Structure 1
Amino acid sequence: MVPVADRKLNGLVAATFSPFSPDGEINLPVIEQYVDYLIEKQGVKNIFVNGTTGESMSLTVAERKALTEEWCLKARGKMDQVIVHVGCMSLKDSQDLARHSVKVGANGIAVISPSFFKPKTADDLRTYLQEVASAAPTLPFYYYHLPAVTGVNVQVRDLIEGIEKFIPSFSGVKFSGTDLMDFGQCVSYSLPQWSVLYGIDEQLLAGLAMGASGAVGSTYNYMGSQVNKLMLAFEDGNLDQARAIQFKIQELLSYATKLGFDVGVNKQLMTDVSGLSLGPPRLPVMQCPSDRAQLLKKKYHSIFH
């Protein structure tokens, strides 16, 4: 993997699912096949592991370390970058995972805001992020913004102002929010070496128009090849083609939402499309019922094949 210091994080980043065995234990042997699938079938060479899609908050620290180590090992020499999400409710756990990410050769770390005891202001959140980043000062550091889940609605533009003075390793934002004004202000303010990555898959084209340097999302696990075409069309100025692909993605996700789209349903769709054995989600997320899975699989193939 190319060190991120030598290469800005751009383009498509798949937020990976954590593979489990049928009885709910992490299933590390699947990861090598998963890496090859992303590269060969989807054209995706950057991954964001142990995030929301990876059910990180339902995993133990030991499980997250084991997954991180295996992702980094199997991606080495094949993928460009592995970004590891190390956010936890406990600062000490986050710092432990950050140090571990250095040890196993990750290309960067990302942190979501704590969501039980919530930071109230941009200064509070920045102070927390600084403490995590200080545990791994050599690794590029990304803030993972997900207000719909965390309930932390701090404006990212306020957070990143002057952040490089507090976190010299700060390298950008995974912006998984719908506030395009805040997103645009982040792009406008950002330093040239930062990556501002958009994380709402169904409106990626709007994020690109606002200046996103790339995208991180769960659907890029099984729609990466389509989204690469969307991004290429946008770069070429072919907005009609880019819109056509975006509308197809919206059609699928709108349909999935009516079926109760969540991590469990999403994981099942990835299993059905890829053929990988990813296992069930971990409680309290429920496994997707088979009838719903069949409907969604049929819809996917009707749109993209």
Structure 2
Amino acid sequence: MAPAADKKVTGLVAATFTPFTTQGEIDTSVIGPYIDYLLEKQGIKSIFVNGTTGESMSLTVAERKVLAEEWCQKAKGRMDQVIVHVGCMSVKDSQDLARHAAQIGADGIAVIAPFFFKPRTAETLRAFMKEVASAAPNLPFYYYQIPGLTGVHVNVRDVIEGIEDLIPSFRGVKFTGSDLMDFGQCVSNCQPEWSVLYGVDEQLLAGLAMGAHGAVGSTYNYIGCHVNKLLSAFEKGDLVQARSIQFKMQELLSYAMKLGFDVGVNKQLMSELSGLSLGPPRLPLTPCPHDRIEQITQKYRTVF
């Protein structure tokens, strides 16, 4: 039985960071306060866990299960959507995580393309996704496209063509790329129950103009309250206000990128701005020098 189509993902979805102790072990004690912060301070009602921002490729399958269960348990009855990323290099590990996500009450699962042995065609990628989706056939399934990290440059339009026949639970795409032609083709060819979610925070307004139903991003953890105003302005047709907020986001992120902005730096910025103790990133990511994060934090306060 295919999943119900009454929980379409819209609006902002925060891609969550994984809290670690100072010793580098996962720290689930932070997850409850983290959800409180997103809801109360940022107006964020949906989360995407164990993704790129959550350093999923640096976690064990067992760690990912513990985290997914804690996020789902703490968000139950409070958040609209908890989407769990279950992509791995091994289709068997991905299936294991997909089954687990179904057991713990996740609202959906997502999968990136495997990137060591890369699928070279849309057909091969679709076959991989079909195997993963089959392990949790009643959970909404999303393809998470991020070619900048996977190196898999297969047009998403080709991936989704007729995919509802192959994967009845397919419900959309997290599109983290700058090819707006491919993105537009996804939007124009999607089924009514699908969500096409844009994943490049600094170009969100362009994604909205092309018809994005929502957005998934790391910066919404700490600037979600501002970006919600961007969404509201866009919906009202106030492009001047929407651009103003987008340009502020770009000013902050371009400044951070010049200083070297990766998941580790982003995580530390979230810790500074939220007051949550998220700990260091896990190798091969390295902690951010204190002076650099101070500069970015000051820039945030100047811009917003």
Tell me the TM-score range normalised by the shorter chain: over 0.9
Residue identity in the other structure for 1:224: G
Show the counterpart of 1:76: 76
Return the offset for 1:24: 0.4
Distance (whole Å) between structure 1 residues aligned to residue 134 and residue 143 of structure 2: 14
Q: Percent identity?
A: 73
Show the counterpart of 2:244: 244
Return the offset for 1:16: 0.2
Return the offset for 1:6: 2.2
Distance (whole Å) between structure 1 residues aligned to residue 278 and residue 90 of structure 2: 28
1:61 lines up with 2:61 in the alignment: yes
Q: Per the alignment, in what secondary structure is the counterpart of residue 6 of structure 1? A: coil
- Whether the 8 Å CA contact 1:21–1:27 is kept in 2: the answer is yes
Residue identity in the other structure for 1:100: H
Q: Deviations over 1:15-69 (max 9, x none)?
A: 0000000110000010000000000000000000000000000000000000000
- Whether the 8 Å CA contact 1:4–1:108 is kept in 2: the answer is no
Matches within 5 A, 1:219-230: 219-230=219-230
Q: TM-score, normalised by structure 1?
A: 0.98
1:163 lines up with 2:163 in the alignment: yes
Q: Deviations over 1:238-265 (max 9, x none)?
A: 0000000000000000000011000000
Show the counterpart of 1:32: 32
Residue identity in the other structure for 2:261: F
- Whether the 8 Å CA contact 1:143–1:174 is kept in 2: the answer is yes
1:209 lines up with 2:209 in the alignment: yes
Residue identity in the other structure for 1:32: G
Show the counterpart of 2:138: 138
Matches within 5 A, 1:122-201: 122-201=122-201
Q: TM-score, normalised by structure 2?
A: 0.99
Q: Find runs of 4+ consecutive structure 1 residues off by over 3 angstroms.
A: none
- Whether the 8 Å CA contact 2:5–2:193 is kept in 1: the answer is no
Distance (whole Å) between structure 2 residues aligned to residue 168 and residue 211 of structure 1: 23
Show the counterpart of 2:260: 260
Distance (whole Å) between structure 1 residues aligned to residue 270 and residue 4 of structure 2: 28
Show the counterpart of 2:294: 294
Show the counterpart of 1:41: 41
Distance (whole Å) between structure 2 residues aligned to residue 102 and residue 122 of structure 1: 26
Q: Per the alignment, in what secondary structure is the counterpart of residue 95 of structure 1? A: helix
Distance (whole Å) between structure 1 residues aligned to residue 111 and residue 286 of structure 2: 25
5+ residue gaps in structure 2?
Answer: none
Q: Per the alignment, in what secondary structure is the counterpart of residue 70 of structure 2? A: helix
Q: Deviations over 1:128-181 (max 9, x none)?
A: 000000000000000000000000000000000000000000000000000000
Q: Per the alignment, in what secondary structure is the counterpart of residue 216 of structure 1? A: strand
- Whether the 8 Å CA contact 1:156–1:186 is kept in 2: the answer is yes
5+ residue gaps in structure 1?
Answer: none
Residue identity in the other structure for 1:164: E
- Whether the 8 Å CA contact 1:50–1:68 is kept in 2: the answer is yes
Distance (whole Å) between structure 2 residues aligned to residue 281 and residue 76 of structure 1: 27
Show the counterpart of 2:108: 108
Residue identity in the other structure for 2:180: L
Return the offset for 1:5: 3.6
Q: Deviations over 1:238-295 (max 9, x none)?
A: 0000000000000000000011000000000000000000000000001000010100
- Whether the 8 Å CA contact 1:180–1:207 is kept in 2: the answer is yes
Q: Per the alignment, in what secondary structure is the counterpart of residue 215 of structure 2? A: strand
Show the counterpart of 1:15: 15
Distance (whole Å) between structure 2 residues aligned to residue 146 and residue 6 of structure 1: 27
Return the offset for 1:303: 0.8
Return the offset for 1:4: 6.6
Distance (whole Å) between structure 1 residues aligned to residue 66 and residue 143 of structure 2: 23
Return the offset for 1:7: 1.7
Residue identity in the other structure for 1:141: F
1:89 lines up with 2:89 in the alignment: yes
- Whether the 8 Å CA contact 1:4–1:107 is kept in 2: the answer is no
